[in-house]
A = this chain, B = another copy of it.
């Protein structure tokens, strides 16, 4: 998507050199746009571990390019271990590394390895971007219909956290239909939940929407229900970290509350996801999906920029503890539909397996 009027991906190989990968270092967003040059496996591992890059799709692509850099260093197995250890629970990370090992594993010629690893890494990135593009292609029809129903008045979409192009290689999942609508000239406006405690909505989603030109308004996570009560939200579109094949949706903490409000106010609630985010083994999301607990400091503190400097401020009393659950699970009954690269289905086993019959058992 666009930054300062120019098209970017979140990660891309340098065209001139053959051992340089560039990526947007997201730690400085929204207040500085920093492009990092990565030349070694260690540098790529640090970029993933220290969250210069984050988001399922982007982490997979970064790992793919990391394995390409490994072909310059020699020990592919050691590189694979190093990269895998950066974010142990990221499914796409392991998947991309395995894909690379399989593609380059049998080859002994160094030049051949490099060429194969490079094309495999590009393929991983391209596929991620393409799947998101298709999510946009399917999802934009929902927005188009809402727009027609409103006689061309702007369609108000509410989103939570960042399931934007910054979390993938391009387009994003939840944002793909929004960008597709914007690019097609359909008037659209986005309510951006700030998404405490890490504020990915405020920091990342607001930034990427703004850079691409999409009208948006940041709101406190508390505000969505009120907006829906007063007819100011036409649809909710969120991403997901993991969705069961039965349609239960694990996503950033707070998603469930918005889904309840959507249901209560007859606002359609969509989840956009590439099929790699389906968990084909879990039946009951609420009981079976483990919810990560993160450090309490994220809740006790807030962070942002003051006089151009990044500062963390203590909000709560020094003696007060905090709990910090990373995700919640939205039960399938609250989900209007799932927008995938193959089309839109309902959030139930039959409809999901209808689109992805190869996962039938």
Copies of this protein in the complex: 2
Cα A224 to Cα B255 in complex, Å, equals 11
Check if A300 is an interface residue, CB within 8 A of chain B.
Answer: yes
- Bound: A196/B303 CA distance, A: 14
- Decide: A317 and B222 in contact? CB cutoff 8 A: no
B323 contacts A314, C-beta separation under 8 Å: no
With a CB–CB cut-off of 8 A, which chain B residues contact A316?
30, 194, 202-203, 206, 218
Which of B199, B206, B222, B305 contacts A253 (CB under 8 A)?
Answer: B222
A219 proximity list for chain B (CB < 8 A): 299, 322-325
For window 297-354 of A, CB contacts with B under 8 Å fall at: 299-306, 311-325, 327-329
A319 touches which of B210, B320, B321 (Cβ 8 Å): B210
The yes or no answer to A146 lying at the interface (CB within 8 A) is: no
Q: A260-B261, A302-B315 known; A221 and B328 CB under 8 Å?
A: no
A313 and B317 contact, CB distance less than 8 A? no
With A221-B196, A221-B221, A306-B312 already in contact, the answer to whether A206 and B317 are too (CB < 8 A) is yes
User: Least Cβ distance of A1 to chain B in Å?
Assistant: 15
Instruction: Give bound CA distance, A252 to B225, whole Å.
Output: 12
Q: How far is the CA of A301 from the CA of B312 in the complex (A)?
A: 12
Residue of B207, B254, B315 near A199 (CB, 8 A) is B315
User: Judging by beta carbons under 8 Å apart, are B256 and A225 in contact?
Assistant: yes
| A305: chain B residues within 8 A (beta carbon) | 313-314
Residue with the greatest number of chain B CB neighbours at <10 A, chosen from A195, A257, A291, A323: A257
A299 to chain B: which residues have CB within 8 Å?
Answer: 194, 202, 218-220
A202 to B257, CA, bound (A): 20
Is A154 an interface position by the 8 A CB rule? Answer: no
CB–CB A328/B257 < 8 A: no
Judged by DSSP, the binding face of A is mixed
Taking residues whose C-beta sits less than 8 angstroms from the other chain, chain A's interface range is 35 or more
Binary CB contact string for chain A from 210 to 230 against chain B (1 if under 8 A, 0 otherwise) = 100000111111111111010
With a CB–CB cut-off of 8 A, which chain B residues contact A260?
Answer: 225, 257, 260-261, 264
Q: Does the CB pair B254–A261 fall under 8 Å?
A: no
Nearest opposing residue in chain B for A195, CB measure: B222
| Contact between chains at A254 and B223 (CB < 8 Å) | yes
Rounded to whole angstroms, the CA-CA distance of A331 and B127 in the bound complex is: 47
Most buried by B among A264, A286, A316, A321: A316
Q: Which one, B216, B261, B321, B323, contacts A257 given CB within 8 A?
A: B261
The 9 closest A-B pairs by CB, nearest first: A222-B254, A304-B313, A302-B302, A30-B317, A226-B328, A304-B315, A260-B260, A218-B322, A206-B320
A–B Cβ pairs within 8 angstroms, 10 of them: A31-B318, A196-B222, A202-B299, A221-B222, A222-B257, A223-B323, A227-B325, A229-B329, A257-B260, A303-B313
**15 more A-B contacts (CB under 8 A) besides A216-B321, A226-B253?**
A30-B317, A30-B320, A194-B315, A194-B316, A203-B315, A210-B320, A218-B322, A222-B328, A226-B327, A229-B286, A257-B260, A302-B302, A302-B313, A302-B315, A306-B313
